[in-house]
Amino acid sequence: MNSLEKNTALIKQTAQKLGFSYCGIAKAEQLDEDARRLEAWLKQDMHGGMQYMENHFDMRIDPRKLVPGAKSVITLLQNYFPGEQQSAGSPDIAKYAFGEDYHEVIRAKLKTLLFVLNQHIGEINGRGFVDSAPVLERTWAVKSGAGWIGKNGNLITKQSGSFYFIATLIVDIELNYDDPFAKDFCGTCRKCIDTCPTDAILDNKVVDGSKCISYFTIELKDALIPAEMKGKFADWIFGCDICQDVCPWNRFSTPHTELKFTPIPEILNLSSKEWEAMSEEGFQTIFAHSPLKRAKLAGIQRNLSFIKPG
């Protein structure tokens, strides 16, 4: 076994020990096709008020500008599909937010992985990212063989569906690279497109972020949600799983084993009235390590008010 094989094996074995469901590796290079797609998406204002999507364009399409000397992009998947469901009558919250903030949980794992690599391989320049930096992680996931991009814009794996977080570790060492995932198993299925209540999913694997329920309930910081969206949110107050819940591939989803993603009891059980009556102090105490803190209590209560009948 040569050094490339040894180092690649070490990365994949360590990733498995850390609880990642998948680890694949691709060569660091500029993403020309994605650059064209991203530019067109931005020009059509499909990012809505998410102005940060316009920033660092050159870094988004070339990981070598994020990590000088980068040679490899490591993609890691972390299952978050819960074994528990929310109680009947509780307003809907996206499954990824049931437990602790995944940014904190996965970032710690990436630091551990990089530490192990530095210990066993030598000094490595690398940076880990999880949904908080200019990285086109879904493209890198496909390039590393993890799965394909579904019509709803999510990465879908043939074995377990799409309820995964995608983490990326960019390093300045060469490794053995996995074959890209070359097939698309969505076929003629349109369930995600036809079921989206706000028509955010277009028929060419493009999602109009400015129409997505997740955008309105999390990203939109304005005091008011546009009136024309009234009655289209069902019971969603934080994020939305509709396009994933109807995806046939998610019948293969299995519950995660990450203790830190154990659902916060209040998320499973609070009624709308209890959410409305919650104090700022109570919110800060209960959701100190939850993704819900991103929307803040005022945002959650605004969303609750918006989904009320009338």
Residues 207, 200: contact at Cβ < 8 Å?
A: yes
Separation CA 172–CA 181 (nearest Å): 23
In this structure, is the dihedral angle defined by the CA atoms of residues 131, 136, 142 and 144, taken in order, positive or negative?
negative
Say which of 58, 92, 101, 131 is annotated catalytic: 131
Q: Is 32 a catalytic residue?
A: no
Tokens linked to 193: 């497109």
- Provide the pairing of β-strand 22-27 with 155-156: unpaired
Count of CB atoms within 10 A of residue 91's CB?
Answer: 22
How many other C-beta atoms lie within 10 A of the C-beta of residue 211?
20
Cα separation values, 236 from 64, 230, 304, Å: 39, 12, 8
User: Which tokens belong to 280?
Assistant: 């700022």
The whole-angstrom separation of Cα 299 and Cα 296 is 5
Task: Please list the active-site residues.
Answer: 131
